[in-house]
Structure formats: structure tokens, C-alpha cells
Chains A and B, each alone.
Chain A
Amino acid sequence: MNRRLQDLLVQSADRAPESAAIVFQGEKTSYAELEQASNRLARALRDGGCVRGDRIALLVPKSPEALTAMFAALKADCIYVPLDTSSPTARLGRILASCEPACILAVQSTAPALEDLKAFAPGAWTALLDEAPGVEARFRRSHLASYGAARIESQSQESDPAHILFTSGSTGAPKGVVITHSNVLHFIDWAVRYFGIRAGDKISGHPPLHFDLSTFDIYGTVAAGAQLHLLAPELSLLPHRLAEYIRAAELTQWFSVPSILQHMARSGVVRQNDFPSLERLLWCGEKFPTPGLIHWMQRVPHAKFVNLYGPTETTIASSYYHVERCPESETAEIPIGGPCGGELLLVLDEQLRPAPVNQIGDLYIGGVGLSPGYWRDPERTRQVFLKNPFASDPCSRIYKTGDLARIGPDGLIYLVGRSDTQIKSRGYRIELGEIESALHGIAGIRDAAVVAVETGGFEGLQICCAYVPQPGFDLSPSKLRQHLARALPSYMIPSRWMEFDALPLNGNGKIARPLLQQQFKRETAAAISGGKD
């Protein structure tokens, strides 16, 4: 049977049209409303000339309108590209230039950026999901009423791409990970079954919509006919407000990156036996420090705690580990566990042979979540999507995650680190090379290197920049930050800076990054022991 993501909505709207699908800022959107609004918008997109396989860029903040646009794009047989609306124009422009959208959907608050962005997507027309008076557009919200709300037939196949998610790229340009309907459906099928997600569930929508974690929230909710609580990004600034929200909304499932859970733990906002409705707490995207996990498990003993793991390239998550008992020690290591249904995780040595127990190797993933590859980048796709040496099927592939791992005597997989310079900071996946590439684009920079330093605080890794100005250039960290803010999103901008006459080199003539890391660490230690400045 040919199943597509939009079919999940059609079925839930048929079953329980009046149930709330989305709750956002006190407003509820029912399944019937989401279904009908997305049908109207899909017809408007087709009317505008969009055909199967066209890309629809979404310059829309997290909102019911953004989700309507996602389903509409799928119903029109198109591929949606969710954009980070707080990213600088230059970076969004590179994404648009790469995905060549047929259309850009925006709202009044993001419309000012359209003027500059259009130059990067000369073939694209624009439309508005609200009224945005004065902004030029092919259609706006009030025009949508003239399109039919009845079910719309789509031609797309489950092997068609559903969305492209752009992540940080080491050479400076963000890379687009193509995800198919089938990729997402396989994970959703497994997750709905494993977690027992049902119509009565109230599910958090914490990650931003350009993060692949959000696709679990959206399609998991809609598959089960449950209720998705979209959380405004600014709520994360105030942990007590976030806790109040979970309590008042009686959320049954929480899913986020660990850093926000850590932030709530440190702020002391989780009370004993708090969140009585919460049945499961899931995290993904990076390691949840064990002391933070213990804090949560002691206070919310009635919830099921599950660690999910997986890069965007293998769709949402590929492995899971249910933490059945509260760890006894703060140094206990939490595994990423074993494969989710239909997934394959391998720890291999350099010759692609299985690494013996407890021996560190490269982590590879195969199976149903595997992306077809990077958008219009066969070379980069070939580098990391390899032929599966253990399969008789010549089309079977495995993805080299770049993560280092070992298999424990318990048969579970433990993450050890990275084999490259990709880092995770507050859940964001960042290629340090992308930051360096942006630095080298600044006039007056002779040399620059970016390293990540573990701080031990809840912020996790700090991004540190060592730079060498050209003679005659006065480059303060403040000025460099300003320059970078035009090229990079704020979470990629280094928080620590050090000026050098020349960067330290190792014996091979390469930048001695471990030395730089030590230097930044020493500086942090000195600042702490020296007290306030």
C-alpha cells in the first residue's frame, strides 16, 4: 500500500474531526480545520503552478500555519524546506539557492526578509499565510477561502522526498538532507507502537521546525490523533514558565534536546512528584549528563525515561534505550541502546570489520530511516553513504555517522565521541568548519581556528575562537561577532575569543587544536579562581 505522511492527517480528520490537533498560545486547531486549511492551501499551490517534486520553502515561525503549510506542500506532491526564521539572510540565501524553491511561503513577521531572499531564488514566487498588507504576493490568507476544502488527491509515492532539512556543513555551505515519506513513516510506526501513543496523548512540540526531532512530534501526534502542544521558542528562556506549562497543559509526552532539561534541573523548577500526567520523557540530539537525568528521575518517578539517538541523515532516531532504574552513580554511563524497528547499527573498524566488544570503532547506520542522500550533492553523499559490506543486496547502504562508539558486554551501544569537528551545543548540530569558513570571509582576518571546550556547566560545550588579525586591522571580538552574525545563526557564534600573533602549529604544520583547547580551558579556570573582574 502506498502510504504518505499526508494520509495520516486525512485518517485522523476522518476519525475525530473535532478533536484538537494543535494547541498554540491558548488557541486550538481541530483535525478538521487542519485538514481543510491544508487542502485549500494545497489547491492554491497547484493553482500557482507547483507540481510533484517542487520545493516549497517555509519562512514561517513555529505555528499552526507552519504545520498547515507542511501538510499542504505534501498534498500538492511537493517537498517542503522548513527555514530557521532567526537565521541571517546570507545563510538562508545559500539554502534557497541550493534547493531552488518554486515558491516561498511567508508571514508578515518574516516578510521583510523576502526582499533580500528573492535574489537567491529568482524562479520562486511568494505567498502569505496571513494578510501582511503592503507585501507583494501571489496570494494571501484571505484568498484561500476561494479554494475548495474537500479532500485533494495526491500522486506522490512513499519513496518520494517529503522534506529537505538543512544542517551545518563543514565547508561553509549548509547541506540538505533529503528525507522521504517512507523514512518518517517507518520511525512513526515503530514509535507509536513502542511508546503506545494514543488519541488522548498531549505531546510537547519543543524543537524548532527545521530540526528533524520536530517531525516525530508532528507526525507521531497526527498518526495517533493526539494533541500537539507547540511551545513558543522564547518559553525556553524561563524554565519555571516551561514547568508551569507542562503542569497546566497536563502533557503526557515530553521530547526535547537534553540541554533544556538540564536547564530546568539547574533552575530547581521540577518539584517532587511533579507533572503527574507525564508518562514519558524522551531526549535526543546529544548526551543527557547523568546528574541531570538522576535529578529528573528522582522527581518524576512515574514517567518512562528513554534516550533516543540518531543523526538527521537516518531520520529522527535510529536507536533507543529505556532507562529502567534511576542510575546509582552520577558517573554512570547511559548507552544509546539498540536499534529501533527496522534499523541497523554497526560499530566497525577502519577495514569495515565489526569491532570486538568494548573496542572503539566508527558507528554506521543502515535500514529503513536512511536518507537517499544530500540534496544535489552526489560527491558528499558517496563519501558517507557506503555500500553495506554485509548485505547481499547491492543497493543496501550504510551511513557513516562520524560518531565513535563501542559495543558493551551487555550488547548495548555506547557513544564515545566524534571522529571529526562536528559538535553539539545546546542540541544544535554545528560543524566548526562552517564557523571557520565564515571567519575567513571577514576582511582583516589573517587566520582563525574554532575549537569547542567542555565547561562542565549546563551550557555544555563552549565555542571558542582563536584569531590572527592582519596588520593594520583593529578587530575586537565585538566587531567579529557582529560580522559573523550576518553569516551565521546566533547559536553558532563563538562565545570566547582570543587574539594571537600566529596560531600554534603541530609537527605536521597543521593548527594545533588540542593546544588551543587547553589554552581556553586554562583561561576559564583562571577566570573562575580569580573571581569577578
Chain B
Amino acid sequence: MPLEIDEYAAAIQQILSDKLLVEVDSLDTDLLQAGLLDSLALIQLLVHLEERFAVRIPLDELEIEDLRSICSMARRIARQKEAGNGVPLHG
């Protein structure tokens, strides 16, 4: 059963806070305008997202707008899952 977009969003906010120590007030906050995401943070975030959701998100398939906010990232992950690009979990 795939997760709902708001569940992905909540998880992304949690990862940003716990793993990258970046606090984002709202799911719609413009991360790019606020300068909250840099290239290093983005790569770390992708690694965590791949682990957490068992989905492969190649950097070179991303568009700038996918990274605009937590919501847009959640939509991107949901699309990736629907497209069947999920990798099976171990075991």
C-alpha cells in the first residue's frame, strides 16, 4: 500500500530535521529561495530518502521544481513509486 503524499512529506521534514539538522517551518516553505538546500545537503537527503522509502531517485532525473519545497519532493517520490521504480527491500 503506497503512502499518501502527506505521509511522505512528514517523513521528509523529519529526515531534514533529524539527519541534516535543517528545521523547515512549513511543508510549502520555498527551500531554494531560503537557501536551505545546498548540493551537499541534497545528496545526503537523497541517500536518506532512498533508504527510507526504498526508491531510487537518480540525481540526473530531477528537475529544479522537484526540490522547491517539502511538498514538491513528496510528490516527486510518490510519482517515482507509482512508476514502479521502487527497489525491493532487502530480504
Chain A residues proximal to chain B, CB less than 8 Å? 61, 85-86, 109, 232-241, 260, 263, 267, 269, 426, 458-459, 477-478, 481-482, 485, 489-491, 495, 497
Interface flags, B38-49, vs A, CB<8A=1, else 0: 111010000000
Q: Give the interface centre of B22, B32, B35, B63 by most chain A CB atoms within 10 Å.
A: B35
Chain B residues proximal to chain A, CB less than 8 Å? 17-18, 21-23, 32-40, 42, 59-60, 62-64, 67
Q: Which of B17, B18, B23, B62 interacts with A485 by CB under 8 Å?
A: B23
State the 10 A-B residue pairs at the shortest beta-carbon distance, nearest first.
A86-B35, A240-B60, A234-B32, A481-B21, A459-B40, A478-B21, A490-B35, A482-B23, A234-B64, A237-B42
Residues from chain B with Cβ under 8 Å of A239 in the complex: 39, 59
Separation of A489 and B34 alpha carbons in the complex (Å): 10
Distance (Å) between the CB of B45 and the closest chain A CB? 11
Closest to A426 in B: B38
Contact: A489 with B35, CB < 8 Å? yes
Contact: A237 with B35, CB < 8 Å? no
Contact: A263 with B23, CB < 8 Å? no
Known: A239-B39, A260-B39, A458-B40. 13 other contacts (CB 8 A): A109-B33, A233-B35, A234-B64, A236-B39, A237-B32, A237-B42, A237-B67, A238-B62, A238-B67, A240-B59, A426-B40, A478-B23, A495-B40
| Dominant secondary structure at the A interface | helix
Contact: A237 with B64, CB < 8 Å? yes
Residues from chain B with Cβ under 8 Å of A236 in the complex: 39
**Contact sample, A vs B, 6 pairs, CB 8 Å cutoff:** A232-B64, A238-B59, A241-B64, A426-B40, A490-B38, A495-B40
Closest to A263 in B: B39
Distance (Å) between the CB of A230 and the closest chain B CB? 15
Residues from chain B with Cβ under 8 Å of A269 in the complex: 60
Closest to A86 in B: B35
Contact: B39 with A481, CB < 8 Å? no
> A238-B62, A269-B60 known; A491 and B32 CB under 8 Å?
no
Closest to A482 in B: B23
> A267-B59, A478-B17 known; A235 and B38 CB under 8 Å?
no
Contact: B22 with A233, CB < 8 Å? no
Closest to B22 in A: A481
Residues from chain A with Cβ under 8 Å of B42 in the complex: 237
Distance (Å) between the CB of A189 and the closest chain B CB? 34
Separation of A72 and B78 alpha carbons in the complex (Å): 47
Separation of A425 and B33 alpha carbons in the complex (Å): 20
Residues from chain A with Cβ under 8 Å of B67 in the complex: 234, 237-238
Closest to A240 in B: B60
Residues from chain B with Cβ under 8 Å of A232 in the complex: 64
Distance (Å) between the CB of B73 and the closest chain A CB? 12
Distance (Å) between the CB of B61 and the closest chain A CB? 9
Closest to A244 in B: B60
Residues from chain B with Cβ under 8 Å of A263 in the complex: 39
Separation of A481 and B16 alpha carbons in the complex (Å): 12
Separation of A237 and B64 alpha carbons in the complex (Å): 8
Q: Which of B18, B22, B33, B59 interacts with A86 by CB under 8 Å?
A: B33
Contact: A490 with B59, CB < 8 Å? no
Residues from chain A with Cβ under 8 Å of B33 in the complex: 61, 85-86, 109
Distance (Å) between the CB of A499 and the closest chain B CB? 14
Distance (Å) between the CB of A111 and the closest chain B CB? 13
Residues from chain B with Cβ under 8 Å of A459 in the complex: 40
Q: Give the interface centre of B17, B33, B36 by most chain A CB atoms within 10 Å.
A: B33
Closest to A532 in B: B51
Distance (Å) between the CB of B22 and the closest chain A CB? 7
Closest to A476 in B: B21
Separation of A267 and B23 alpha carbons in the complex (Å): 27
Residues from chain B with Cβ under 8 Å of A485 in the complex: 23
Contact: A477 with B21, CB < 8 Å? yes
Distance (Å) between the CB of B43 and the closest chain A CB? 9
Distance (Å) between the CB of B42 and the closest chain A CB? 5
Residues from chain A with Cβ under 8 Å of B59 in the complex: 238-240, 267
Q: Give the interface centre of B36, B42, B64 by most chain A CB atoms within 10 Å.
A: B64
Contact: B36 with A490, CB < 8 Å? yes
